[in-house]
């Protein structure tokens, strides 16, 4: 059974409660009896968002999942809707919850609705840092570096990452 990695982000409402509610929703769809890993929660400045967007809280979780990547995408989108996510026309607009699939075991998926591993994972400190908390030695399909090495090599100026909760 594949292990799946998922990034969680929130920058509207009670951000910490939103992340925790999303994690509870994901625990419900995780394969029973598999380990559910949760990284630290970081406060991060918004990246590629509209001006004056509030800061995000971000984390990453990993768990075992029985099903297809498309099944997982549908289930995560349902969780987003249940938690008040409204998808509007503005890209990267503030949101109560954002659930992004990062990887699905060793699968490489490229279709109109899903790209795995996530195509921008190497560029995002707000994803790599929490992922390195729980899986520093993970090498994603099609990549030749560990998550910890990708984080070390990250050359970007995303601003601060501040731990706010466990």
Out of 3, 15, 20, 85, pick the active-site residue: 85
Q: Spell out the SS3 assignment of 39-62.
A: CCEEEECCCCCCCCCCCEEEEEEE
Please confirm, yes or no, whether 28 is among the known catalytic residues.
no
Told to judge if 100 belongs to the known catalytic residues of this protein, a careful annotator would answer yes
| Beta-carbon count within 10 A of 96 CB | 20
Is residue 98 annotated as a catalytic residue, yes or no? yes
Q: Work out the angle at residue 147's Cα, subtended by the Cα atoms of residues 146 and 152, and round it to the nearest 5 degrees.
A: 95
Cα distances (angstroms) measured from residue 60 to each of 36, 51, 52, 67, 112? 11, 25, 25, 20, 24
Contacts of 36 (CB under 8 A, 6+ apart): 26, 27, 30, 61, 62, 63
CA-only gyration radius of the chain, Å: 15
Q: Residue 10, SS3?
A: strand
Q: CB–CB of 37/134 below 8 Å? A: yes
- Catalytic residue (one of 95, 122, 124, 125): 95
- Check 98, 122, 124, 133 and give the catalytic one: 98
Catalytic residues: 85, 95, 98, 100
């Amino acid at each position: 059974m594949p292990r799946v990695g998922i990034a969680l982000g929130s920058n509207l409402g009670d951000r910490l409660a939103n992340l925790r509610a999303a994690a509870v929703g994901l625990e419900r769809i995780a394969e029973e009896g598999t380990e559910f890993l949760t990284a630290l929660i970081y406060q991060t400045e918004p990246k590629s968002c509209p001006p004056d967007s509030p800061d995000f809280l971000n984390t990453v979780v990993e768990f075992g999942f029985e099903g297809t990547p498309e099944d997982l995408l549908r289930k995560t989108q349902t969780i987003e809707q249940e938690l008040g996510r409204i998808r509007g026309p503005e890209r990267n607009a503030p949101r109560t919850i954002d659930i992004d699939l990062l990887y699905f075991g060793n699968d490489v998926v490229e279709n109109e609705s899903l790209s795995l591993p996530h195509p921008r994972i190497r560029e995002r400190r707000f994803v790599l840092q929490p992922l390195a908390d729980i899986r520093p030695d993970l090498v994603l399909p099609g990549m030749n570096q560990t998550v910890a090495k990708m984080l070390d090599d990250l050359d970007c100026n995303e601003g601060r990452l501040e731990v706010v909760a466990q």
